[in-house]
Structure 1
Amino acid sequence: MKKLAAITALAVFATFASAQDAEVAAIELKPHASNPLGYDKTDLSVKAGQKVKLTLNNTGSIAPQPHNFILIKPGKDQAVGAQANAMMTDPQAMAKSYIPDASKEDIIANTKLVMPNATETIEFTAPAEAGDYPFMCTFPGHWLLMKGVMHVTK
């Protein structure tokens, strides 16, 4: 009887673990094939509080260059973009992956600067509040064109 209870408990745990794994939103972003200053996807959708596994795959662009991914609080994209532009005169900007220090409280998740023909995967939890969250690349000059929206739904 104890053996049966243990097997049943393991089966329930395995089912629960599989359900949790299925709840992870796996997203891959690349530079747009014909527009090196754009992502291949500009609209992403996840559920509020969902685990997200995002891979920035910096391959396939006609003009290879570094890129990053920064997910930002709603309404903060212009401020973060302006601060990213200001980093062009910062000698430490590359080491900081062009992620503005002044915007840390406005950034929900980010990759480091990903060089051409490289990838980086990050994992984070989607915001608990539904809404449209902007994302962008903050390498100099990119944020005006290389951007999109992560739609967080209930």
Structure 2
Amino acid sequence: MKTLTKITLILAVLFTGVISSAMAQRTIEIIGTDNMKFDVTTIEATPGEEITIKLTTKSQIPKQAMAHNVVVLDKDTEVDAFANASARARDNEYLAPDYEDQIVAATGLAGGGETVEVTFTVPEDKGDYEYICSFPGHYAAGMKGILTVK
């Protein structure tokens, strides 16, 4: 009977570890297209949760003319100003250097058929955090979403 109890306890510990690991991180898959939209525009998360945003671009247009990224911004960021400044930051993959402290997470740029991702810890401060594509003109065309931390 003692052996059965030990085996049950070991299995319970292993099973709990597997569940904890699976819950520790989740992946949000987003597709960006030539119509300058994300197919996922809302993400809900809990404070301190670790998530991965995985972006795939579906496009037939060359990367120099059509690439996408996902940039999660601090909730107090002036998003229009960030997008405008980023449009001029070609050498920095369209991420405005003056706003680096306001970027929660950012993927690299993905051209047609490419996938990029970023893993980050969700901010502890509850609220809405806008995410955008900072490639020139894409945010203005509506390529954005909201990460709600609650």
TM-score, with structure 2 as normaliser: 0.82
Task: Output the CA distance in 2 between the equivalents of 1:135 and 1:104.
Answer: 14
* Superposition RMSD in Å: 2.4
Deviation readout 1:55-75 (Å, 9 max, x if unpaired): 00112x475721111000113
The correspondence of residues 113-132 of structure 1 with structure 2, limited to 5 A, is: 113-132=109-128
Structure 1, unpaired ranges of 5+: 88-92
**Alignment match, 1:29:** 30
**Alignment match, 1:54:** 53
**Shift in Å at residue 41 of structure 1?**
1.5
Query: Secondary structure of 2:87's partner?
Result: helix
Confirm whether residue 74 of structure 1 aligns to residue 75 of structure 2: yes
Query: Secondary structure of 1:53's partner?
Result: strand
TM-score, with structure 1 as normaliser: 0.80
Amino acid paired to 2:103? I
**Alignment match, 1:147:** 144
**Shift in Å at residue 48 of structure 1?**
1.3
Amino acid paired to 2:29? E
**Shift in Å at residue 131 of structure 1?**
0.5
**Alignment match, 2:133:** 137
Aligned length: 144
